[in-house]
Chain A
Amino acid sequence: MELYEFGVGQLAEAFEKGIASPSEALSSVLERIAGLEGEVRAFLLTDEEGARKAAAKADGLWLAARKGGTKPSALTGMPFVLKDNICTKGTRTSCGSRMLENFVPPYDATVAVKLAGSVLLGKSNMDEFAMGSSTENSAFGPTKNPWDTRAVPGGSSGGSAACVSAGFAPFALGSDTGGSIRQPASLCGVVGLKPTYGRVSRYGLVAFGSSLDQIGPFARSVEDAAMVFEAIAGHDPKDSTSSPRPVPDVRKACSKGVKGMRIGLPKEYFANGLDPEVRDLVMKAVLRLKDEGAEIVEVSLPSSMYGLAAYYLAATAEASSNLARFDGIRYGLRDLGAKDVVSAMKRTRSQGFGDEVKRRIMLGTYVLSAGYYEAYYNKALKVRRVLKDEFDEAFAKCDAIAGPTTPEVAFRFGERTEHPLSMYMSDIYTITANLIGIPAISVPCGLSKGLPVGLQLAARAFDEETLFAAAAEVERGSGFAGRIGGGAR
């Protein structure tokens, strides 16, 4: 087994015992990247020199620990990747956009500070400003799915998902506003977690929908994702929406099992539009949970299929206001030819933003404009309330909700770019967790036509423990842990 195939837990153990050093692990992943990145194109930037320095420093810390010094945190020296909308001091953060092609943040995001002892390999590709489900909206070209390079990796955090799937890094961070971690995790056959809203600080995450955005990990096993979650979660005075609640020991929860756990199956999730093979694999995994002692209960979320519509109003409204900051004055692109300030802004924004971003800014501006606010925006927020009430009711009957992460496996490039709505449909099952702020995870549960299928679990707000306990059981049943994408060899 090569070091690039090691997961987070396995590498941490190898570092601790001196079986391998962070520099050796780095060499292995760099070699892997050199071999395959030309095909996968998961990175927008790599920083080999910075990574070598960080690894050498970590070598020293693990060595000192073995000689009786203080043991460093488990992720020390671990190679990883950040989605390119997470600010890194001194390292370009482009959000996949021409607008920020030359933007170098003067500060670090809180998650980057928390992972300062790990080895940052680079910044991963994404749909521009996290708007999309395939990375096809990246201004710098799409990422390929490591399982089949003719297929999309999902999005918007497609680069991070592909990195972990291809063996470029044992873990990566992404952001999830409507499914942007879970959907690419599902399509690339890795684990992806969207934590409870407020669990992980958003400080330094370039904002898309501030009431929906959350940062979370990708990894090749549930326990690895648990380790990363524990490292990045927790209150941050720099993010007033981050929660002061203590972070649970989710790594321990991974071995708890599901005996007595009530798993809810929303009948609406298994209706029209779901690929039959995806349905079968998800149901098989659910039945294995039953064999392990879980109780399967039917629940109903009658309005859940309206979530997508509510989301596209709420999220675009927030986005139109968040992206107003890109005016070409303090940072980012500027059209220097304009004579007055308003035309400078218009020209800058028209050149800097891609199609989908403009479409969403337009929609958001429209629904917030006088005369439409009540009919669209406020209506969407009332539906959001209905959804929350329905989930509360469901969680009175069950501890976790299971279903498919996406209706289908990875689709081909170009298949959905012509029709924005067909692309949006890819997020139909993931979107509600963002609207109501609950944690949700995608775990691989098998292959359909050679491509990975993800099972999604959701739990009550701040109950990541239940989520990890159930997810680890799904993983034990599927035997998928640690698998590296097959196509890109």
Chain B
Amino acid sequence: MGIGRDEVMRIAELARLEFGEEDAAKYAKELDLILGYVAKLEEVGTEGKEALTHAQELVNVMRDDVPVEGLSQEQALMNAPARKGEFFLVPRIMDNSDED
């Protein structure tokens, strides 16, 4: 299989992580080792077996739609790393860097 530096960078982008060159090499090596180990799953015959996503096979658990009190706006905002009034403050999402 072989995960290389480029593959690590690609996965990191998907996972919203960033690595320097040294770390990328380390992660490539470690992920390779782990994937080498899990490759032994190929030895288990699974033909005709359905994937088991969940141990308890529940289907569509519903409850009555009764309004209950939730968190207040203040509670929801209390852990915000940055806020402005009653909003979460985030960096720019659109790229329009020529404007203020």
Query: Which positions in A face B, CB cutoff 8 Å?
Result: 102-104, 106-107, 197-198, 211-212, 237, 240-241, 243, 303, 306, 309-310, 312-313, 320, 324, 327-334, 336, 338-347, 349-350, 353, 358-359, 361-363, 365-366, 369, 376, 378-386, 388-389, 420-421, 434-438, 461
Contact = CB atoms under 8 A, between A and B. Distances in A.
Nearest to A358: B17
A341 B80 contact: no
Nearest to A376: B38
A244 to B, nearest CB: 9
Chain B, interface size category, equals 35 or more
Q: Which of B11, B40, B61, B76 has the most CB of A within 10 A?
A: B11
B18 to A, nearest CB: 5
B18 A241 contact: no
A314 to B, nearest CB: 9
A309 B40 contact: yes
A378 B17 contact: no
Contacts of B45: 386
Contacts, number: 173
Q: Which of B42, B45, B50, B51 has the most CB of A within 10 A?
A: B51
Q: Which of B19, B35, B50 has the most CB of A within 10 A?
A: B35
A190 B12 CA distance: 40
Secondary structure of the B side of the interface? loop
7 contacts: A306-B44, A327-B16, A334-B82, A346-B17, A365-B15, A366-B7, A389-B49
B55 A379 contact: no
B88 A312 contact: no
Q: Which of B31, B35, B52, B82 has the most CB of A within 10 A?
A: B52
Given A211-B54, A306-B40, A340-B92, A420 B49 contact: no
Nearest to A437: B55
Given A334-B82, A342-B16, A420-B34, A385 B51 contact: yes
Contacts of A343: 91
B34 A363 contact: yes
A254 B15 CA distance: 47
Contacts of B82: 334, 336
B17 A382 contact: no
